[in-house]
Structure 1
Amino acid sequence: MTAPTTPAAAKPGTRRTRRALQRALPALLLVLFALAGPLLAPHPIDAPVTFPYAEADAGAPLGGDQLGRDVLSRLLTGGAPLIATALAIAVVVTASATAIGVLSALRPAVGRWIERAADLTILLPSVLAIMLIALAWPGGGRLAVAAAATLLGIPYAVRIVAAAAASVAATGYVEAAAAGGENLWHLTVHEVLPNLRSTILALFGLRFVEGVYIVSVAAFLQLGPQPPEADWALMIRENAAGITLNPWAVGAPCFAIGLLAISVNLAAEALAPARPTPETPL
C-alpha cells in the first residue's frame, strides 16, 4: 500500500512559488511604495520646509536635506525612477543575452565569433565606458546611463548563458531533435530554454542588482539623474557631506536600495528550479 502523499510533498512548485513570494515581498512593497509615493509625499520635492540637515520633527519626519527639503517627500518620490531604470536594464540585458547565448550554443560556427566579440568587449573598463557613453550621449541623463549599462552588461551575460546552453545543446534529446529536422526556433523554445530557467532567473536578479549599482555609481560621478530630480541614488550623493547632522538623509535611501537588491536576488533564487539530487538507497 502506498503511503499517503502530503500536500507539501505533492506540490513542490507551489512551495517554491510561496517561498519566492515571501522573499520578494520587501521588493514588492518597495515597488508599491515607489509608485504611490508621489501621491503620499507631504511636501513638494523642491521646496525647502526646514533648515539644511535639520533633525527629524513633526513637520519633517526624516528631517531635511542639504537644502532644507523634506527627506521623506524626496524618498517617497525618488524610488520609481531608479527601479524603472534598473528593471529596464535587467530585462533588456537578460533577453538579449538569452537569445544570443542560445544561438551561440546551437550554432557553434556563429558562436565562436559571438564569444570572441564578447571577450573583446569585456576587456573595456566598465566605469570608463559608462562615462564615455554618458558624456557623449546628446543631453546625457538617465537614458545615457541605462544605454551604457545595457551595452556593457550584455557581453558578460552572453558568456554565462552560452556556457549553460552549451551543455544543454550537447544532450541527446536536443541532438535528436536537430537530427529530426527541427528548426532553430523549435530547438530554442522547446528544447533549450526550459532547461535554462534557473540560469535566466539568476541572471535577471544579478542584472537588476547590477543596474541599481550602476545607476547609483553614476549618480556619485554626477552622471545620470541631475538635481533637482528626486532619486534615491542622487539623494545619497547630495547628502553625504551632512550624514553626521541628519543620518536619515543618506541612511533612508541606502536602506531602500539595499533591501530592494537583496529581496530581488533572493526571490530569483527561490524561483529557480531545484537541482535533482540522487536518491538515498533504503
Structure 2
Amino acid sequence: MTALAALDQRTAGRSWQRACLPVLPATVLVLLAVLGPLLAPHPSDQPVTAPYGTAGTDAVLGGDQLGRDVLSRLLHGGSALIASALTVAVVVTLLATLLGCFAVLSPRLGRFVERVADTAILLPPVLGIMLLAMAWPGGGRLAITFAAIVLGTPYAVRVVASAAAPLGTAGFVEAAIARGEGTAHLALREILPNLRATILALFGLRFVDAVYVISMAGFLQLGPQPPEADWALMIRENGPGILLNPWAVVAPGLAIGLLAISVNLAANTLAPAAARRAAVR
C-alpha cells in the first residue's frame, strides 16, 4: 500500500507539473502587463529619441512616431487591455452560464433565449461595435467593453445551453425534482457543477475574443484615443513608419497574439481537470 501511495503521489505530482507548464506563459504575461508601468524605463508620453528612432541605449525597442520609447509604451499599454478583456470574459461567462442553465429548465425561457441569440448572432461584429461605440456618450474603452459584452453573450448562451441540455433530463435532476427542489436549486446545484469544463473553456474563448475585439476597435480608433498607450493603437499610429522602426509595430502585435494564445492554452489545459472534478462529484 505504501508503494502504491508513493506511486500515486508521484503521478499526481507529474500531472500537476504538466498542468502548470502551459499556464505559466499566461501568468507571466498577465503579471508583466499589470506591473508594466512600474517596470517602464520612461514615462509613456516622454520623447526620448527622434521619430521612429532605431533601437539604442535609451530606447531598447527604438522610438515611435513622436520619439516616445516603444518599450515603455508597450509596458504601459497592456494593463488596460487585460482589465477590459477580463471584464468582458467574466460578465459574458456569468450571464451565459445563468441564462443557459435556467433556459434548460424553462422551455419558454429557452425558446426566448434561443430566438434572441439567433437574431443577435446575425449582426456583423464590426457593424455592431461601430453602432454601440458611436451611440455611447463619449465613446472610449468603456463603450467598446460594453459592445463586446453585448455581442459576445448570445453565442456564449448557445454554447452553455447546448452543453446543459442533456443534463436537464438526467437522473439526478429528475430525482431532485421528485424531492421538490426549486428551479434555482436545480440550475445552480445540480446542473452548474457539471458544466465546469465547458464554462472554463468558454471563459478562455471569451477572453481571447475580447482581446481581439478591443484590439480591433483600438486599431479603428473606436476605443482608446491618442495619446493613451494601447497596443492596438500603437500598431495603427506607427504603421506608416514600420520600415524605419519595425519594433514599433511588431512588438505590440506580438504582445496581443501571445496574450491571446497563452490564455487560451491555459484555459484548455485547466478544463479537463475541471471535468474530472465534476465526474468525481
Rounded to whole Å, the distance in 1 between the matches of 2:177 and 2:262 is 40
Instruction: Return the letter of the residue paired with 1:259.
Output: L
Of 36-45 and 161-170, the range deviating more from structure 2: 36-45
Q: Where in structure 2 are there 5+ consecutive unaligned residues? A: 277-281
The TM-score with structure 2 as length reference comes to 0.92
Change in CA separation of 1:139 and 1:93 when aligned onto 2, cut-off 3 Å: same
Q: Which has the higher contact order (CA 8 A, sep 6+)?
A: 1
Deviations along 1:43-93, one digit per CA (max 9) or x if unpaired, are 121121111111100010100011111001101111100000100000000
Equivalent pair of 1:20/1:268 in contact (CA under 8 Å): no
Q: How does 1:7-22 map to 2 (within 5 A)?
A: 7=8, 11=12, 17-22=16-21
Report the equivalent of 2:271. Answer: 272
Instruction: Return the letter of the residue paired with 1:160.
Output: V
Deviations along 1:201-242, one digit per CA (max 9) or x if unpaired, are 110000000000001110121110010000111111111222
Equivalent pair of 1:233/1:253 in contact (CA under 8 Å): yes
Instruction: Return the letter of the residue paired with 1:7.
Output: D
The question of 1:162 aligning with 2:145 is answered no
1:190 positional shift: 2.0
Q: How many residues align?
A: 274
Deviations along 1:83-118, one digit per CA (max 9) or x if unpaired, are 001000000000000000111111122211111111
Q: How does 1:213-232 map to 2 (within 5 A)?
A: 213-232=212-231
The question of 1:4 aligning with 2:4 is answered yes
User: Residue 4 of structure 2: SS of its match in structure 1?
Assistant: coil
Instruction: Return the letter of the residue paired with 2:4.
Output: P
Rounded to whole Å, the distance in 2 between the matches of 1:237 and 1:39 is 25
Of 82-91 and 189-198, the range deviating more from structure 2: 189-198
Equivalent pair of 1:56/1:62 in contact (CA under 8 Å): yes
Equivalent pair of 1:197/1:273 in contact (CA under 8 Å): no
Report the equivalent of 1:103. Answer: 102
Equivalent pair of 1:41/1:72 in contact (CA under 8 Å): yes
User: Residue 234 of structure 2: SS of its match in structure 1?
Assistant: helix
Rounded to whole Å, the distance in 1 between the matches of 2:148 and 2:97 is 17
1:194 positional shift: 1.3
1:19 positional shift: 3.4
Change in CA separation of 1:188 and 1:18 when aligned onto 2, cut-off 3 Å: farther
- Point out 4+ residue stretches in structure 1 off by more than 6 angstroms: none
Equivalent pair of 2:96/2:156 in contact (CA under 8 Å): yes
Report the equivalent of 2:279. Answer: none
Change in CA separation of 1:270 and 1:261 when aligned onto 2, cut-off 3 Å: same
Rounded to whole Å, the distance in 1 between the matches of 2:3 and 2:108 is 52
The TM-score with structure 1 as length reference comes to 0.92
Q: Where in structure 1 are there 5+ consecutive unaligned residues? A: 277-282
Rounded to whole Å, the distance in 2 between the matches of 1:80 and 1:18 is 28
The question of 1:242 aligning with 2:241 is answered yes
Rounded to whole Å, the distance in 2 between the matches of 1:9 and 1:180 is 43
The question of 1:149 aligning with 2:148 is answered yes
Report the equivalent of 1:279. Answer: none
Rounded to whole Å, the distance in 1 between the matches of 2:36 and 2:2 is 54
RMSD: 1.9
Deviations along 1:106-150, one digit per CA (max 9) or x if unpaired, are 112221111111111111111101001101110000000000000
Change in CA separation of 1:20 and 1:227 when aligned onto 2, cut-off 3 Å: farther
1:18 positional shift: 3.9
Rounded to whole Å, the distance in 2 between the matches of 1:39 and 1:165 is 44
Equivalent pair of 1:82/1:233 in contact (CA under 8 Å): no
Q: Which has the higher helix share?
A: 2
Change in CA separation of 1:43 and 1:125 when aligned onto 2, cut-off 3 Å: same
